[in-house]
């Protein structure tokens, strides 16, 4: 071979080598990036080329698929009781992608997950249509219905957990939306999507996981836990040294109480009637750093609480002064929390001090129902000792039997709870939030802990807004729904 031909051959060989390297780079190194690229329509078309697997509650699907006449998207997602289950399922839309479980478990639902390789291979030989797997949730259908019905036209959210396992039993948010209304690719779907985007009430917002609120007096159980764990209080029935009026530290401003008899009230009595002064005093005595430590043991300031849908981080300020800490100790100032977080606090108390990691996917299964993955209960932390947890239970049960939580009573069942009315807005000018946290207890332990927040209730005057009046009846219905299954 002469010299010019050899040079051409070497050059062509280098071109082939470069092509091979580039091809392998695209196929293997960049595959994930290209698959997830929002401009890659093939991924979206593949998602709807066949029926998706289903999201399951109580053995029954709450999702489905229906054939369309679209030349690109053969199937469209459907939902059963869509608005009720939207905080759990999220949406899967031909035009607007997907979110929540529909997005996180897309590989299983489409059948593209590597764990379904055998099923895909077998379908090639048998000629069967490709099928997606299923996502089996931990949700209790009756509890979800009770939560959604209880919220009704109110703006708010409910989170319910099994304290012994961490299973999420209910996750409701109102106002809600129907994911079926924009599951397709038509002009009508676009109109429905744009209407939801413009809605000032934010129906697509998952308030149970993604909205934070001042917890108000429900946070006093965390302050009580910190006081007990740090030895500030050793006898819940002994008088405290709280004066009346109690001045907020570093100021001349008196703490306002909405109940009589708070001067030197015991911790038990202070929780029963919800004395702001006693808990502000206890929070100040515990100190900011120990209060932060206790809040974080319960899950505050943790940006990675995945259910597997990630919840927004609840906040307890790490840098505030003594006055801010005193106000935060009664659930005001900068303290902000999701309903899920307050359900976690309640669940840990009900479970004798052990906080289990919350989760709502029980298992992932193949189209033939073989289990691909099962979630096992996992301990998250132990915020308080068993002894102090039981003291807190005694106090919370006193609230329901003799205090502000009487609307949550259930005949023949031990109920513990705490009401809260959280002020917010400049100068507390906005309508307060109504809170209630509670648990039910049986001979086998506690099967359910609930947190309810009512953000707004049309037709209710400001003076009538209270956790005991608006939120406690909803919590009661959810607990009864769970107990009826036991």
The catalytic site residues sit at 217
| 243 SS3 class | coil
**C-alpha distances out from residue 425 to 330, 331, 433, 453, Å:** 16, 14, 11, 17
CA distance 11 to 15: 6
Question: Residue 234 and residue 221: Cα distance in Å, rounded?
Answer: 15
Q: Is the four-CA dihedral 459, 203, 80, 147 of positive or negative sign?
A: negative
Q: Is 81 helix (H, G, I), strand (E, B) or coil?
A: coil
Start-to-end CA span in the chain (Å): 87
Helix (H) or strand (E) holding 276: helix 276-286
**Chain position carrying tokens 């005001």:** 332
Cβ(223)–Cβ(282) below 8 Å = yes
- Helix or strand or coil: residue 33? helix
Burial class (CB in 10 A: 0-12, 13-18, 19+), 482: buried
Give CA–CA dist 408/394, Å, rounded.
16
Token output for 82: 């869509």
CA distance linking residue 161 with residue 449, whole number of Å: 5
Q: Is the dihedral of CA 247, 250, 252, 254 positive or negative?
A: negative
């Amino acid at each position: 071979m002469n010299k010019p031909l050899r040079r051409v051959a070497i050059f062509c060989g280098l071109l082939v080598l470069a092509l091979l390297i580039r091809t392998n780079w695209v196929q293997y190194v960049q595959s994930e990036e290209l698959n997830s690229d929002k401009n890659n329509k093939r991924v979206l078309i593949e998602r709807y080329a066949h029926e998706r697997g289903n999201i399951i509650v109580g053995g029954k699907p709450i999702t489905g698929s229906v054939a369309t006449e679209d030349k690109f998207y053969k199937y469209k997602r459907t939902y059963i009781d869509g608005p009720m289950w939207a905080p759990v399922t999220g949406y899967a839309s031909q035009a607007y992608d997907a979110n929540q479980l529909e997005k996180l478990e897309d590989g299983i639902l489409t059948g593209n997950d590597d764990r379904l390789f055998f099923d895909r291979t077998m379908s090639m030989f048998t000629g069967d249509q490709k099928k997606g797997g299923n996502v089996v949730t931990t949700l209790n259908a009756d509890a979800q219905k009770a939560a959604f019905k209880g919220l009704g036209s109110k703006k708010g959210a409910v989170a319910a957990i099994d304290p012994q396992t961490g299973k999420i039993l209910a996750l409701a948010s109102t106002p809600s939306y129907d994911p079926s209304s924009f599951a397709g690719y038509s002009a009508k779907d676009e109109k429905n999507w744009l209407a939801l985007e413009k809605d000032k009430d934010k129906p697509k917002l998952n308030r149970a996981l993604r909205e934070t609120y001042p917890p108000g007096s429900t946070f006093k159980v965390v302050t009580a836990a910190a006081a007990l764990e740090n030895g500030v209080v050793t006898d819940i029935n002994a008088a405290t040294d709280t004066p009346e009026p109690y001045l907020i530290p570093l100021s001349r401003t008196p703490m306002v109480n909405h109940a009589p008899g708070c001067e030197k009230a015991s911790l038990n009595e202070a929780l029963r009637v919800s004395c702001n002064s006693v808990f502000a005093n206890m929070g100040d005595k515990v100190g900011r750093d120990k209060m932060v430590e206790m809040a974080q043991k319960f899950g505050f300031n943790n940006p990675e609480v995945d259910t597997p849908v990630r919840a927004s981080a609840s906040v307890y300020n790490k840098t505030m002064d003594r006055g801010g800490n005193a106000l935060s100790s009664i659930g005001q100032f900068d303290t902000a929390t999701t309903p899920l977080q307050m359900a976690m606090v309640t669940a840990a108390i009900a479970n004798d001090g052990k906080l289990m990691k919350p989760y709502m996917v029980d298992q992932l299964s193949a189209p033939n129902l073989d289990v691909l993955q099962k979630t096992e209960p996992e301990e998250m932390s132990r915020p308080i000792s068993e002894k102090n947890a039981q003291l807190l239970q005694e106090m919370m049960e006193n609230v329901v039997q003799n205090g502000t939580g009487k609307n949550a009573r259930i005949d023949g069942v031990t109920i513990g709870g705490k009401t809260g009315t959280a002020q917010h807005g400049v100068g507390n000018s906005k309508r307060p939030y109504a809170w209630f946290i509670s648990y039910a207890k049986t001979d086998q332990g506690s099967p359910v802990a609930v947190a309810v927040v009512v953000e707004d209730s049309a037709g209710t005057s400001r003076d009538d807004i209270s956790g005991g009046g608006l939120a406690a009846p909803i919590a009661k219905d959810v607990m009864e729904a769970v107990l009826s299954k036991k």
